[in-house]
């Protein structure tokens, strides 16, 4: 009985929670003004700090 209750809870509220987290993360990544930040982060491996 407890398994069925937990399964139904996970099927409804768990799915809703995971979908809302996904939408939030996608919205956060594609928010206005974030392009420069991510371009700077993507270029970190190519920086040549500390070379003689």
pTM for the complete prediction?
0.64
50: tokens are 């500390």
pLDDT at residue 50, as a whole number: 60
7: tokens are 């399964």
pLDDT at residue 51, as a whole number: 60
pLDDT at residue 29, as a whole number: 92
What is the spatial distance between Cα 9 and Cα 21, in angstroms, rounded to a whole number? Answer: 17
Handedness of CA 41, 44, 45, 46 (dihedral sign): positive
pLDDT at residue 49, as a whole number: 73
39: tokens are 């371009």
Consecutive 10-residue averages of pLDDT for the chain (52 residues): 89 92 96 91 84 54
């Amino acid at each position: 009985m407890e398994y069925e209750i937990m399964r139904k809870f996970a099927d409804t509220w768990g799915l809703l929670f995971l979908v809302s987290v996904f939408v939030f993360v996608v919205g956060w990544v594609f928010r206005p003004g974030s392009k420069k930040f991510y371009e700077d982060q993507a270029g970190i491996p190519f920086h040549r700090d500390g070379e003689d």
